[in-house]
Structure 1
């Protein structure tokens, strides 16, 4: 196997992994949006990012198709199920909005790292046709991480205020 073959194989595996991670992101964010009541700005930003994530999945589908392959149904299903389970685990917590904010912030940085790695593989493997799509997805993930970072103080203060008014169950969503 030549070095170019190895890079191609690794790049395709990375694209499939990113595809599964984006499917997982959808399964994490969608239940959150349906439960948010007291944090409309968070719900609005999550809805926007769900749309962005669907666009990222479409871009990954196109990149995979350019290599005559597609996402891994098994990886997609496995990570989607784990994302759903994570969302469910937080839904029973009194501080759901806080835990979701932490998890979303960490998850965005995981995705940022994945896209940065894919960009390195694209450069080293000569897959320059993939660079614009990967950079667009990276930028969207960086924007979302920045938004969460900037809004965490607001969410935390609102949570504390709602908790003081009516206890933890009133403050969660």
Structure 2
């Protein structure tokens, strides 16, 4: 792209600048459309899975013996809360988050490949810090999961009322 400015002819330079500007705009539009489609498709698949899981969980609850519902931990509020939250947790793990995971995995892989093509030394240095970034992401997921489990307990307690 910087080669455009080497041309001494003003008209040729302007034509190449317009060409590259249009290519960038086209690339942005393609990115917008593909990102929107990815989000919509993963959200749809996650929602379908959640609906199916809720239906199966409800059927499993209905098949229980009568004494199952006499236990305090299986009262109607807890069961309704469990139906609402557990299937949604699966959707969070399988829907849009899975799409972002796939996108990030491919981005890292392609970045490493492109990096090795252009500067293998810098790529090796970057790969050396990759475990630290993965560990940081792991810690963030663990802390978030701990907060979500506490929230789930509070919601179940609120459902008992």
TM-score by length of 1: 0.35
TM-score, scaled relative to structure 2:
0.37
Greater C-alpha radius of gyration: 2
